[in-house]
């Protein structure tokens, strides 16, 4: 890591690589994020019903996802938009986990809700709108659950690492950094996918990095392409929105993949993931 980067991120020292700490493995159920496996989180933007969630969980599990995503509490820009099912949504996620064996990641919006959400979720998601909600970060840090920290819409990489530092300082070493696109002057996609941030974070931080091609693209036809870009940049995993009927989704239908599209995307990622293994295999003498 270059000296200039060390200086630029000096106020988030616990997030940075060092001679003694090159990589953090985040334990989730019986696997880890940040190791040699590329971990996919997939599911609907919002938990809507049992009829919607259970088939989705089964479909993404069959296609290779290890973690079910779904929002029980939804921070929406419009007060008239669907705000989530709350506790009922958490209970449905828990039932889906029991049916499929998938871990669960879901968003927590308030420090007061952290104990409740932590009771049902394996990973607590801090959304982009709350990346600098320091009371929430502190509560998540004390929860003992891994934290998926999404980059704020106008946050720099340094801003994101400072927020991660807040979680670490409250005794929680298991933070996942998520690049989900940032707001720029470009309007062709929902957000600008800052793929360079993935490469920089992998270079400077020991924390795992997750790509969010769905929120970066905003258009389902681009999600598989953005997913491949995330793999090529070195992400440790991805979080993708999947819905049984995107046209009728209560939130983010335009960027949600159908079951078939998700399965096709996962299959298409296999050769890209295989390419990432070649340097490691060569270093081990397997390809000699």
Structural domains of the chain sorted by starting position, each given as residue range(s) with its CATH number in brackets: 3-283 (3.20.20.70)
Two tokens, residue 110: 């308030």
Query: Rounded to an integer, what is the distance from CA 281 to the centroid of its chain?
Result: 27
Cα separation, 214 vs 80, whole angstroms: 23
pLDDT at 282: 47
Cα separation, 200 vs 234, whole angstroms: 10
Q: Rounded to the nearest 10 degrees, how much is the dihedral formed by the CA atoms of 176, 213, 67, 50?
A: 130
pTM: 0.92
First to last CA, the chain: 29
Do 210 and 22 meet the contact criterion of CB atoms below 8 Å apart? no
How confident is the chain (288 residues) per 10-residue block, as mean pLDDT? 71 93 96 96 96 98 98 66 78 97 96 95 96 96 97 96 96 97 95 96 97 96 97 97 96 95 98 82 49
pLDDT at 78: 54
Say what angle helices 223-233 and 259-283 make with each other, to 10 degrees: 20
pLDDT at 2: 53
Do 82 and 46 meet the contact criterion of CB atoms below 8 Å apart? yes
Vertex 215 angle, CA 161 and 143, to 5°: 45
């Amino acid at each position: 890591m270059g000296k200039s980067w060390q200086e630029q991120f000096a106020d988030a020292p616990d997030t940075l690589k060092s001679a003694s700490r090159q990589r953090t493995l985040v334990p989730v159920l019986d696997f880890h994020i940040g190791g040699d496996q590329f971990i996919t989180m997939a599911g609907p933007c919002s938990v809507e019903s049992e009829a919607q969630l259970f088939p989705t969980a089964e479909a993404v599990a069959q296609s290779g996802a290890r973690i079910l995503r779904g929002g029980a509490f939804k921070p929406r820009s419009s007060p008239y938009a669907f705000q989530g099912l709350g506790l009922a949504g958490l209970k449905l996620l828990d039932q889906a986990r029991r049916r499929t064996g998938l871990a669960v990641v879901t968003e927590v919006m308030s420090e007061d809700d952290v104990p409740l959400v932590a009771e049902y979720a394996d990973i607590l998601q801090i959304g982009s709108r709350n990346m600098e909600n320091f009371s929430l970060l502190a509560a998540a840090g004390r929860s003992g659950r891994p934290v998926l920290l999404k980059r704020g819409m106008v946050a720099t990489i340094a801003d994101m690492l400072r927020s991660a530092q807040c979680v670490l300082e409250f005794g929680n070493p298991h933070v996942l950094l998520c690049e989900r696109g940032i707001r720029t002057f470009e309007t062709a996609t929902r957000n600008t996918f800052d793929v360079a941030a993935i490469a920089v974070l992998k270079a400077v931080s020991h924390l795992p990095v997750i790509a969010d091609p769905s929120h970066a693209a905003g258009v389902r036809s681009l999600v598989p392409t953005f997913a491949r870009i995330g793999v090529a940049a070195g992400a440790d995993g991805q979080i993708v929105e999947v819905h049984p009927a995107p046209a009728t989704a209560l939130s983010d239908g335009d960027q949600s993949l159908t079951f078939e599209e998700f399965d096709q995307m996962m299959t298409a990622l296999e050769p890209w993931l295989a390419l990432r293994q070649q340097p490691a295999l060569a270093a081990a003498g397997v390809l000699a």
